Chain A
Amino acid sequence: MSAPKLSTRDLCKSFEKDGASIEVLRGLNIDIARGEFVSIVGASGCGKTTFLRLVNGLIRPSSGSAFIDGRAVTTPGGEIAFVFQQDGLLPWRTVLDNTIIGPELQGKNMGKARDLASSYLALVGLRGFEKHYPHELSGGMRQRVNMARALTAGADVLLMDEPFAALDAQTREIMQTELTRIWSETGKTVLFVTHQIDEAVFLSDRVLVFTVRPGRLKEEVAIDLPRPRDLALKRRPEFGAHVDRIWRLIEEEVRDSIRRETEEALAAAQR
């Protein structure tokens, strides 16, 4: 692999909580090539969101670093854009004004930003909705604005944290095909977190499987299915084989995680 677009070296994160230290991520070494689409799957609470926030620079690692083009990430903004699970659109701003928030905050040329935003809104299928307000849109449309906003920020790297989790099953499938199309048209590097294994397999070049907390890289699975992919692929045996393999990798982890979450909730209730 040539020099990776995004990499992490010995990335560790612990949180202090009520005087105790919770180790969430331990020694992650990950390399992602320019233009690659990589997904992360893992049991709930294994530190996937924390990992994205570290890579984005929203929080600082306890040790180790994340790098973009070989430079350590220190603050958010600029070369990485984050697509959050909740759309996080400012309700008092129109779709267009939400979409241009990245360039606006970074003091860029607003005329250019508006043109760029309009073209990305068209790309995600929202031409003509520029003047609408978020509360006038459906959940799927708001997630499209969320994506257009990240693209307009001009970042090469998109971090996406379960962006389709709140959508109904049909909308989610449509959004998956849309995302592969947008990804191939824009050539972005994408790091995508999901708890849906079939979503990870369908979208990705590679799937990283995390262990339970403290999150480590358990295994990486290359998805060698041909592109362009369409939804019919999901019914093919080689697709199912990938899904099964990943599910077997995390089944035990998920059971552990459920058991631990139950125990923690009980302990908290008894306190």
Chain B
Amino acid sequence: MGSLGIRRWSLSFGVAAILWEAVALWLDNKLFLVRLGAIGQRFVELIQSGELMADMRVSFIEFAGGFGLAILVGISAGVVMAAFKGLRDLVDPWVSMLYATPTIALGPLFMLAFGIGYASKIALVFLTCVFPILINTLAGLKTTDRTLLEVVRSYGATPRQIYFKVRIPAALPFIIAGLRVSVARALVGVVVAELFGARAGLGFLIFRSAQSFDTAGLFVAVFILAVCGVACVEFLKWIEIRLAPWRFNNMDEE
């Protein structure tokens, strides 16, 4: 992001903050929309009491566990499915079906099965984000440019070399794009999983705050989640551009 990008971002945030304050003053309803200052104050309180750090720690473990597992399983399953056509034909309908299903609805079931600790949350986060990773890995491995394959074959590449020197590097940008899609789904998974029952976490902070009419506390959690989401997506975008600059070469910013 250049200095132009930073200027544009600060401008757009500045305008949003002014609008927020104006609406909050006009509504004058502390249950619905509180002033930004109150949110900041609540943020400091939550930090000082140690509550926020504890909530963030729990949510982070759930996120990292579920997302990490989804990366591992999604990529490996994609690689295996790309290599074995029989298996692919067998599993493909299920993958497409589960990808389209809002698996998050299985949350309550997971609580019953795995309890309200980490296991149920990690399982739900995993399930919400494994399919985009798998599908993109598979697509990336299956859509390798035929010219590239023929070129390396003409220079005597073995099937193994074709896989490691062409198919996998060609699939990498697709895989990163899959991660970018899933990272947002993973954050939703964390919050929703905690709403179904938890002892701590940012989602649970939202739940707790709502129960006690603490709107400022609720927004603290929402803002932290938003910042994390944007940071993850921007980071993955940055990696994508570093890994595959040629795919962005002909694109115009406008």
Q: Is the CB of A77 within 8 A of B155?
A: yes
* Set of chain B residues within 8 Å of A58, measured between Cβ atoms: 150, 153-154
A84 interface residue (CB < 8 Å to B):
yes
* Set of chain B residues within 8 Å of A106, measured between Cβ atoms: 155-156
Q: Is the CB of B147 within 8 A of A88?
A: yes
Chain A min CB distance to B72 (Å):
23
* Set of chain B residues within 8 Å of A86, measured between Cβ atoms: 147
A70 interface residue (CB < 8 Å to B):
no
Interface of A is mostly: loop
Interface residues of A in 22-46 (CB under 8 A from B): none
Interface residues of A in 135-162 (CB under 8 A from B): 135, 153
* Set of chain B residues within 8 Å of A105, measured between Cβ atoms: 152, 155-158, 161, 165
- Which single residue of chain B is at the shortest CB-CB distance from A76? B154
B249 interface residue (CB < 8 Å to A):
yes
Interface residues of A in 53-110 (CB under 8 A from B): 56, 58, 75-78, 81-82, 84, 86, 88, 90-92, 101-102, 105-106
A56–B154 Cα distance when bound, in Å, is 7
A134–B148 Cα distance when bound, in Å, is 13
Q: Is the CB of A153 within 8 A of B155?
A: yes
Name B154's contact: one of A77, A91, A92, A135 (CB within 8 Å). Answer: A77
Chain B min CB distance to A166 (Å):
12
Q: Is the CB of A133 within 8 A of B153?
A: no
Q: Assess A135 versus B249: contact at CB under 8 Å? Given A86-B147, A88-B148.
A: yes
22 contacts between A and B (CB under 8 A): A56-B154, A58-B150, A76-B155, A77-B154, A77-B155, A77-B157, A81-B154, A82-B151, A84-B150, A88-B151, A90-B148, A90-B165, A90-B166, A90-B169, A91-B246, A92-B169, A92-B170, A92-B172, A101-B165, A105-B152, A106-B155, A133-B245
Which 10 residue pairs of A and B lie closest in terms of their CB atoms, listed nearest first? A77-B156, A135-B246, A88-B151, A82-B154, A91-B246, A88-B147, A102-B155, A76-B154, A86-B147, A105-B157
Residues of B at under 8 Å CB distance from A? 145, 147-148, 150-158, 161, 165-166, 169-170, 172, 243-246, 249
